[in-house]
Amino acid sequence: MQIDRRKLGKHVASLSDEELLNTKWEDLTDVAQRIYDLEIAHRGLDRASTTRRIETTEASLDAGDYQTEASFGADDYQDDGETSDPDWHQSGVVVCGIMDQPGEDAADRISKAQMALQAAGIPSHLSVKRESREAHALSAYPRDHYDVMEILVPVRYAMHAHGIMDRDVFNDEFETHWRDHLGLLSSEDLLALDPEIFCIGLLDKIARMKRVYAEEMAKRNLKARGI
């Protein structure tokens, strides 16, 4: 029996918090478990739920690729009873993509990113695609298929989305990795580090982004902000 994943995602999203928490996760199919975990994480009801990984097997999922989609944001849903795709879906821009692989808590990271966007008033659309290992030459990947979780936003919000996700989600991860890296250095190596050099690439990127923005605004005779 072919599962309509869009309708399933819409049904899960329609459940109350109590109904969602009372659902027996163990009784759900693999696809339903993944959608359930994403919804739980999105609502912030039980962060521990998102750490339960779903081992994909050929016996429990259809052969070939699949795609599950769900949108978050007050204006994202089309009330046509057929699809949860927002009006801007076809022209949306992918601002984040994470492969669900062992040791990669993809559902939790994607959920945090979407909640950060929602808090900033940026509508987003989640797409979960199942792709073959061979399609991307992942010879060392332990499964025949893997899931790629992508967040799309309307093109007008793409740059803002990157900034919000970096600040609220990914910079925290970067800080942790950076702290771990510095902890491994000897005192001699640490003294040799120069912030003026290891930050130079980031500072140059910021300067370029502001310059290009100001140039485009000037070209259209518009007043640039904060430059």
pTM of the model: 0.61
Do 9 and 100 share a domain, yes or no?
Answer: yes
**Amino acid symbol at 86:** P
Which residues constitute the domain of residue 112?
A: 5-161
Per-residue b or e along 115-152, where b marks 16 or more CB atoms closer than 10 Å to that residue's CB: bbbbebebbbbbbbebbeeeeeeeeebebebbbbbbbb
The domain boundary residue, chosen from 161, 184, 211: 161
Residue 34 lies in a domain: yes
Residue 185 lies in a domain: no
For residues 145 and 63, give the distance between their C-alpha atoms in angstroms, rounded to a whole number.
Answer: 9
Do 152 and 204 share a domain, yes or no?
Answer: no
Residue 97 lies in a domain: yes
Residue 48 lies in a domain: yes
Helices (H), ranges, the chain: 5-14, 17-22, 30-43, 106-119, 158-165, 171-184, 187-192, 195-198, 200-219
Tokens of 19: 């109904």
For residues 144 and 141, give the distance between their C-alpha atoms in angstroms, rounded to a whole number.
Answer: 8
Residue 214 lies in a domain: yes
Do 198 and 157 share a domain, yes or no?
Answer: no
Query: Are 52 and 36 a contacting pair, CB within 8 Å?
Result: no
Do 207 and 140 share a domain, yes or no?
Answer: no
Smallest CA-to-CA distance from 50 within 104, 128, 98, 10 is with 104
Do 132 and 210 share a domain, yes or no?
Answer: no
Residue 167 lies in a domain: no
Do 48 and 150 share a domain, yes or no?
Answer: yes
The domain boundary residue, chosen from 115, 145, 161: 161
Residue 128's pLDDT is what? 79
The pLDDT profile of the chain, 227 residues, written as one tens digit per residue, is: 444 556 676 777 778 888 878 887 777 776 677 777 777 776 667 534 443 333 332 333 343 444 445 554 434 333 333 445 677 877 889 999 888 766 667 778 888 898 899 899 999 988 877 766 555 555 555 566 677 888 999 999 999 999 999 999 999 999 999 999 999 999 999 999 999 999 999 999 999 999 999 999 999 999 988 76
Residue 183 lies in a domain: no
Do 52 and 141 share a domain, yes or no?
Answer: yes
Total number of domains in the chain: 2
Residue 173 lies in a domain: no
For residues 207 and 210, give the distance between their C-alpha atoms in angstroms, rounded to a whole number.
Answer: 5
Do 49 and 149 share a domain, yes or no?
Answer: yes
Residue 78's pLDDT is what? 34
The domain boundary residue, chosen from 144, 161, 178: 161
Do 143 and 59 share a domain, yes or no?
Answer: yes
Do 126 and 27 share a domain, yes or no?
Answer: yes
For residues 84 and 106, give the distance between their C-alpha atoms in angstroms, rounded to a whole number.
Answer: 22
Do 129 and 225 share a domain, yes or no?
Answer: no
Smallest CA-to-CA distance from 4 within 32, 39, 40 is with 32
Do 32 and 141 share a domain, yes or no?
Answer: yes
Residue 74's pLDDT is what? 39
Residue 51's pLDDT is what? 39
